[in-house]
Amino acid sequence: MSILNQLNNEQRKAAEKVEGPVLILAGAGSGKTRTVTYRIAYMIKELGISPLNIMALTFTNKAAREMKERAESLIGSEANNLVVSTFHSFSVRLLKTYSDRIGYGRNFNIYDTDDQKSIINKIIKELEISNGDKLSPSSLANRISKLKEQSIEINQLENEIDMRISANKIFYDIYKRYDEVLKANNAMDFSDLLLNAKKILMDPYVLNKVQERYRYVVVDEYQDTNDIQYEIVSMIASKYKNICVVGDEDQSIYAFRGANINNILNFERDYRDAFVAKLERNYRSTKTILDTANELIRNNKSSKGKKLWTDGEKGEKIKVFNAKTVYDEAEFIVNEIKMKGKSGKDYKNMAILYRTNSQSRVLEEKLLASNIPYRIYGGMQFFQRKEIKDILAYLNLINNTDDNHNFYRIINVPRRSIGDKTLEKLAEIAQERKISMLESLKYIDEIQGIRAAVKESAKNFHKLIMEIYENTDQLTIKDIFDEVLSKTGYINSIEENREDRIKNIEELLNSITEAEKQNPGISLSEYLDMISLTTSTDDMEENENYIKLMTVHSSKGLEFDYVFIAGMEDGLFPSCNFETPEEEIEEERRLCYVAITRAKKELYISHVSERMVWGQMNYMIRPSRFIYEMKQDNLDYLSKKFENFSKKMENKIVVNKETKKKIENFNPFSLKSVRPSELKNKEKSKYKVGDVVTHVKFGKGRIKKVEEKSLLIDFVAGEKKIATVLAEKLLT
C-alpha cells in the first residue's frame, strides 16, 4: 500500500508527480505541509531517491523545523540526510564552504538591521556630509538592501543613476563606503547572503556541484520569493528541472520586502511543461469564514481562481463591530475575550491582529487592566535587546577578530576609559598597517599622550579576547559565554533595569544550552549563524496560555480558534488612498484574506468612527472597503449604524446588464469628492501612479503621485517632484 493513500485526491496528484516542474497552488489550510512531506517520503521510500539529493527551501525556521519533523515521523532516521532550510540558511552553508572564492573568510559575521543603521550613521559622520543629520540611516539601509536584492552592486550603480546629481553622488558614496566596511570586517548583511550565494553559483564548478547534489528542489511559499531567490532556485534547478514550487498567489503579502508575485504567476511560462495541481479543500476554517474569504479575494485580478471549500460545519457568522473610539474597540475585544475565557476557552487559542504595531498600545492597556495574559510578536525581539546585543558582540568578535563594528560596540562595555581620541589614533594605526582595530591594540604603546591606566586597560581587553579566541576549538559555547561574563564583569556593570536584564542574559544562556543539546558539537560560528537567522515567531510557545497580539504580516502561517481583526478602516486597512495603484490595493486585499483565513472557528472584525492621526482627531473615518467586498449574508453587524449605511448605499445602486460587473465591485466607502480639475487632469495625463519611468539624470523611478501640475517620483536618490510641463522632455 502506497504512503500516498493517506492523502486526498488533489493532494495525491500533487505528491505523485516527481519528475519535471510542478506547481502546487495550495490554498490556506489545505494541508500544504502535509502534501509536501508525504511527497518527499514517497520519493525516498517508494521511488528510491536518495534524501541527499533532495532540498526543500522555506522562509521560516519554524516551517523548516515542522517539515523536517514530519518527514522524520514518516521515514525515520533517513530524514537526517534531508536538507530542509530557509533561503538564508542555505546561503550561509554555501558561503561557509565556498566564501574564499569571492574574497571572504569562512568565519564571517552576519549583521542585522540595527548593525546596518549603526554603520551607515558612522559613515555619514565620517564622510562629513552637509545636512547629514537629515539623512535617515534606516531609509538608506533599505535602499541598499533593495538594490542588492535586484543584483545591483556598487560597481553597477553608476550605470543606473546620473552621478552629476548631488543626492545620487552622496548615496553612491555611502553605499560604496558601506560595502567597504562590511568587507573589511569580514561581515555580510542579510541581502549579502543571497547576493553572494548567487555570485558563488555563477562559478561553473560550484554550480555543477550543487546541481548534482540537489537534483530535486522543493520551494515552499513560492509567492514570497524575491528576484534574487528566484534566480538562485532557477540556477540550481536548470540542469534536471525537477523543481516543485508550492504557494498561494492569494497570500502574497511581502512586496514591501521585495517579494515578486510574478514568480508564481509566471511559473507556467518559465516551465512550459509544468504540471499544475490545486489544493482547495480546507481543513482549518468553517464554511462561513471560507465563503467570506473567497468573496473578498475574487476582486483581485492577480488571483488564479482557487476557491476554498470544506465539508465541515457552517459555523458562526462573522461579527462586525463599529466602535466610536479605539478605547471602545479595545474594550469590546477584551470583553469578548473575557467571556470566552469564562466559558472555558483557552487564551492560547485566541489572537488579535492589526495592520500596524502602533495599534497594540491601547489593546495592551485594556488587557493589562483585565489581568489577561498576552504576548506581542513582531516588536523588539529577544536578540535585539541591549544586553543581549552586547554579549553577542563579544561572541562575534571572538568568532571573527576582524569585526571592527562589534569591537566599537564593546570596547567600553563595561567602561574601560578608552576615549574617542584614543580610538581615532588606534584607527589610524589600523588603517596604516591594514590590520583590525583589535590587533591595533598591540601597538598602543606607540601612541603618545595616553595615560598608562588607559594603555593597560586596552591591553587587557586585547588579551581577554585573544585568550578565548585561541582556545575556541577546545571550549564549548557555554564555556566561552562563562569566560566572557566572568572576565568582563558585565553583570556587575548593569545598573538600569538590573533584574530584568540579568534574566535576559540568563535566557541567553538557556538558548546556548538548548542549542548544544539539540546540536551536539555545534561551534560558536554555527550558533551565531543560527540566532542571526531567527525570525519573529520562531520562539512562539504553543502551549503557554496567553493571547497573541501581532500584525497580520506576522500571523501568516499561523492559525487560531478565535481571531479579532482590529482597525478595519479605510486608510489603515487597507493602508491606501484615492491615488494608490491597483496592484497595491490588491496586496492589501491579499493581506486581509490572510487575516480572515487565520481563524478556525470564529472571526471578529472591528473598526472605529474616530481615531487620532498624527495628533489630530479624525471624526470622518470610513469602514474598510474590504468589509463591503465580503459576503454580506455572512456578516453579523453588532452595531446597526454601519449595517444601515451599507444597505442604504446598496439601494442607491442602479443595476443594468452593461455595468453589473462594476457594480458588484463597487465600494461605497471609497467615495471621495473630486474636483473637476482633478478629473480632467486624470483623463488627460499619460502618467499613472505606479508607472516606472526613466529620468535623464535621476535614472529609474516609480510614480507615487500624479497632480495637476506635477508628478511625485521615487528615485534611488529619493523622492523628486517633476513639473508636468517638463515631464515629456525629462522622462521616458
Residues with a known catalytic role: 32-33, 220-221, 251, 598
Beta strands in 167-223 (DSSP E): 187-189, 216-219
Helix (H/G/I), strand (E/B), else coil: 695: strand
Distance between CA 659 and CA 655 in Å, rounded?
7
Could you give the dihedral angle defined by the CA atoms of residues 95, 190, 174 and 699, in that order, rounded to the nearest 10 degrees? 100
Alpha helices in 471-489 (DSSP H): 477-488
Classify residue 654 by its DSSP letter. P
Number of Cα atoms under 13 Å in the Cβ half of residue 447:
24
Q: Which residues pair with 564 in a beta bridge?
A: 352, 604
Backbone angles phi, psi at 560, to 5 degrees: -145, 150
Please give the angle made by the CA atoms of 68, 74 and 79, to the nearest 5 degrees.
Answer: 40
Q: Provide the grid cell at 730.
A: 525629462
d(CA 490, CA 507): 15
Q: What angle do CA 617, 620, 623 make, to 5 degrees?
A: 115
CA–CA dist 167, 163 (Å, integer): 9
Q: Please classify residue 556 by burial: count the beta carbons closer than 10 Å to its beta carbon, then call 0-12 exposed, 13-18 middle and 19+ buried.
A: buried
Query: For 410, left (φ over 0), alpha (ψ -120 to 50), or beta?
Result: alpha
User: Does residue 618 sit in helix, strand or coil?
Assistant: strand
Task: Please state, in angstroms and rounded to a whole number, the distance separating the CA atoms of residues 205 and 313.
Answer: 56
Q: How far apart are CA 664 and CA 658, in angstroms?
A: 12
Q: How far is it, in rounded angstroms, from Cα 598 to Cα 561?
A: 8
| Cβ-contact 21, 274 below 8 angstroms | yes
Report yes or no: 3 and 272 within 8 Å, Cβ to Cβ: no
CA-CA distance, 582 to 667, in Å (whole number)?
A: 14
E strands within 368-492? Answer: 374-376
Q: What is the DSSP letter of 316?
A: P
Helix H, strand E, coil C: the string for 495-520 is CCCHHHHHHHHHHHHHHHHHHHHHCC
Locate cell 478602516: which residue?
A: 569
> How buried is residue 264: exposed, middle or buried, by Cβ count under 10 Å (0-12/13-18/19+)?
buried
C-alpha cell at 496: 538600569
Angle, in degrees to the nearest 10, between helices 87-98 and 204-213 = 130
Closest Cα partner for 622 from 579, 667, 590? 667
Quote the distance between the C-alpha of residue 440 and its chain's center. Answer: 38
- Please state the separation of Cα 327 from the chain's center in Å: 30
Q: Which residues contact 315 (CB under 8 A, 6 or more apart)?
A: 285, 286, 287, 288, 289, 601, 602
The dihedrals phi and psi of 513, each to the nearest 5 degrees, come to -60, -45
Please state, in angstroms and rounded to a whole number, the distance separating the CA atoms of residues 620 and 633: 26
CB 697 within 8 A of CB 165: yes
Pairing of strands 109-111, 187-189: parallel
Say how many Å lie between the first and final Cα of the chain, rounded. 63
DSSP 8-class letter at 549: E
Q: Let me know how long the chain is.
A: 732
DSSP-derived 3-state class of residue 308: coil
